[in-house]
């Protein structure tokens, strides 16, 4: 098990809405936006400077209470934090992401210089054709395998959709929803298809309604070739039991995780950050303890990165590995940790090792962690 995504019908993540500015707090450089019947949205002004999309506007030089702005909900409420709103309207396709940055970006996983140069040329040309200084885009990893015409058609389609949403907002009332992304279920599967370009994936469900939605959503010929959708109908053994899902989720929430080597990880989420402590525990056999420490740390790095993704941990994460005497062993461990973090689609980034030997990692907050959903 690598990821858990509980089905939730109440998520507003990705919605583009018209919202009223309830108040502006200069000390925070932020505004709080109101949607009737909902908790306020947090809207950072410095991050959205010169990108505000006003529907109704009173002050020409700044955002003010009473203004109605067009925003996208880019993070769900997490603990005491409000949902995050942004003027960067993002539409996601299979090969490209369209946004409001005015910049053309390319996935770091596309490493061929010639391919990057070609995509950069195509992106700049398409942005010029759009005739909007703030229109931007990011070519996803899947763009490398797609032909230019496919990428061009999808980009133009998304840029036109973005423009239509902004034009339609001129007549929108506060609280109006002008765009909703695919359901999280569909978005997740599209994301996996984009990341696993060379693989065929299988989606198995025992819910007829979900089966129908998947068949309908992935009816395109190219998607049918890459995604097999199956309806599980065995009445003697449930799908959850077949894959032992309840036990796997329970294991994923445990504080202490035992490694095959006999060592363990102790995972402590706190309000400010998450700490992962690596211990030798029962793995103290052998004469060469440095080699034992090296093996435990490598196994711990692989397990920790999987659990960060599985538990959807985010924010600041500190990993306290077992201290090793050889500098080359430490450098090898950091390189391995970086490579494992690169597999995480949740934007996990290794930053540095502190003077006390703690590895600093950050991961983008988008949705609540697993331990909050299942507590």
Q: Which residues, in sequence order, are bridge partners of residue 18? A: 70
Q: What is the pLDDT of residue 130?
A: 86
User: In the predicted model, is pLDDT for residue 8 greater than 70?
Assistant: no
Q: Which residue has the higher pLDDT, 251 or 116?
A: 116
10 pLDDT band (50/70/90 cuts)? Answer: low
User: In the predicted model, is pLDDT for residue 13 greater than 90?
Assistant: no
Query: Given 3.30.420, 3.40.50, 3.40.630, 3.90.79, which CATH number is that of 247-373?
Result: 3.40.630
Architecture of domain 16-88: Beta Barrel (2.40)
Q: What is the pLDDT of residue 182?
A: 74
Q: What is the pLDDT of residue 347?
A: 83
User: In the predicted model, is pLDDT for residue 286 greater than 70?
Assistant: no
Angstrom distance (rounded) from CA 367 to CA 13: 9
Q: Can you give the residue ranges of every domain in the chain?
A: 16-88, 91-171, 184-241, 247-373
Q: Do domains 16-88 and 247-373 have the same CATH topology?
A: no
| Whole-number average pLDDT of the chain | 88
Angstrom distance (rounded) from CA 137 to CA 107: 11
Give the model confidence (pLDDT) of 192-245 as tens digits. Answer: 877 776 678 899 999 999 999 899 888 876 667 788 899 999 989 999 999 999
The upper half-sphere exposure of residue 260, i.e. CA atoms within 13 Å in the direction of its Cβ, equals: 6
Q: Which residue has the higher pLDDT, 295 or 366?
A: 295
**321 in Cβ contact with 300 (< 8 Å):** yes
Q: Quick one: DSSP state of residue 80?
A: T
Q: Count CB atoms within 10 A of the CB of residue 236.
A: 5
């Amino acid at each position: 098990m690598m990821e858990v995504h509980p089905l939730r019908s109440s998520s507003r993540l990705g919605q583009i809405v018209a919202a009223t500015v309830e108040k502006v707090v200069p000390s925070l450089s932020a505004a709080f936006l109101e949607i009737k019947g909902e908790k306020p949205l947090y809207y950072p002004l410095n991050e959205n400077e010169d990108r505000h999309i006003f529907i109704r506007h009173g002050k020409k030089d700044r955002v003010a209470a009473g203004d109605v702005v067009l925003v996208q909900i880019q993070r769900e409420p997490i603990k005491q934090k409000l949902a995050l709103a942004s003027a960067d309207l993002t539409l996601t396709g299979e090969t490209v992401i369209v946004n409001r940055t005015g910049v053309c970006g390319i996935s770091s996983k596309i490493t061929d210089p010639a391919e990057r140069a070609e995509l950069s040329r195509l992106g700049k040309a398409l942005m010029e054709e759009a005739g909007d200084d703030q229109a931007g885009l990011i070519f996803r990893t899947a763009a490398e395998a797609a032909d230019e015409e496919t990428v061009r058609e999808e980009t133009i389609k998304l840029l036109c959709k973005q423009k239509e949403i902004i034009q339609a907002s001129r007549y929108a009332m506060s609280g109006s929803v002008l765009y909703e992304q695919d359901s999280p279920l569909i978005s997740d599967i599209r994301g996996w298809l984009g990341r696993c370009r060379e693989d065929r994936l299988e989606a198995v469900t025992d819910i007829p309604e979900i089966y129908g939605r998947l068949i309908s959503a992935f009816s395109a010929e190219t998607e049918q070739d890459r995604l097999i959708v199956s309806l599980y109908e065995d009445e003697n053994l449930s799908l959850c039991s077949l894959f032992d899902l309840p036990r796997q989720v329970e294991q994923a929430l445990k504080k202490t995780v035992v490694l095959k080597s006999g060592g363990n990880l102790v995972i402590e989420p706190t309000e400010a950050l998450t700490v992962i402590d690596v211990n030798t525990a029962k793995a103290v056999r052998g004469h060469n303890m440095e080699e034992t420490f090296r093996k435990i740390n490598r196994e711990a790095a692989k397990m920790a990165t999987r659990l960060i993704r599985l538990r959807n941990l985010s924010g600041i994460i500190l990993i306290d590995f077992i201290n090793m005497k050889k500098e080359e062993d430490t450098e090898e461990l950091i390189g391995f940790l970086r490579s494992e973090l690169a597999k995480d689609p949740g934007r996990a980034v290794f930053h540095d090792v502190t003077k006390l030997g703690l590895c600093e990692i950050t991961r983008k907050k988008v949705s609540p962690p697993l331990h909050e959903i299942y507590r």
